[in-house]
Amino acid sequence: MNSRVELNPPRTKRLNSKTKLWILVLLAVAIVSVVATIKFRWHERLYFYVVSTQNAPAWVGKSIWLPDYKVYLDEKPIQGIGNDLSGLTYDYDKGRLLAITNAGPMQIVSLSKSGEVIDQYPLVGFEDTEGIAYMGNGLVVIVDERIQQLCFLRLPETPGPIDKKDAKFISLGINLGPSNKGFEGITYDTENDRLFVAKERGPRQLYEITGVRKSLEGNLQINIRDLTRL
């Protein structure tokens, strides 16, 4: 007696056009989300927010707690300067603000605390000034973005032109890229004699430079650290 068993393979259920479309849409959204997260560093911002929220009670008394600050003066136009102000610092010796421009013409502008122009110092020989920081006793440091250069100079008692040839400088040709992706911001820690320099993008980086004032006084002790991943 012959017996034969026929096995029919299971039929594969095909996706209809609507389901396929939804899968493609979800895949595209996922890819865009990943790219945007990497480009805009959303994961780092989320991490910072979570860590800051969890540690807020311990940090309040140990830092300048920005959430407690309120805006007193918002977007006041500076007469005669235009819209090219790029950096701002506080001259605690004379109780004034120092701003810097990065276009036509480049200059340092002395301002009152209420934003009124006091003096102007035209800059000669600079390429792309972006940031400025006050280091005490009339000494300022200027960021020249395109060549990633930090220029140190003293403001003259009588307002007038400042030539780059009279400045001392440090050039950091690290990860040089297109002209508008260099050093953008700078600040100075007076107590510890250290500068913090921010590179805008391509890649975005943060450097710590210590021993600057001692070096300018003749005792060379420059130390540069990349704090980007810390």
DSSP codes of every residue in 179-198:
TTSSEEEEEEETTTTEEEEE
Match 């400025």 to its residue by tokens. Answer: 132
CA distance 182 to 196: 14
156-173: average pLDDT: 90
- Is the pLDDT assigned to residue 5 strictly greater than 80? no
- Is the pLDDT assigned to residue 141 strictly greater than 80? yes
Query: DSSP state, 175?
Result: S
Output the pLDDT for position 2. 57
- Is the pLDDT assigned to residue 131 strictly greater than 80? yes
Percentage of the chain with pLDDT > 90? 35
- Is the pLDDT assigned to residue 173 strictly greater than 80? no
Percentage of the chain with pLDDT > 70? 90
Digit-coded pLDDT (tens) for 75-123: 788 887 876 888 999 999 999 999 999 877 899 999 999 889 999 999 9
End-to-end CA distance of the chain: 80
Smallest CA-to-CA distance from 121 within 157, 149, 82, 160 is with 160
CA distance 18 to 24: 10
Output the pLDDT for position 65. 77
User: With contact defined as beta carbons under 8 Å apart, do 90 and 98 qualify?
Assistant: yes
Tell me if residue 135 falls in helix, strand or coil: strand
- Is the pLDDT assigned to residue 34 strictly greater than 70? yes
Query: DSSP state, 11?
Result: P
Question: pLDDT averaged over the chain?
Answer: 85
The secondary structure element, H or E, covering residue 154 is strand 149-154
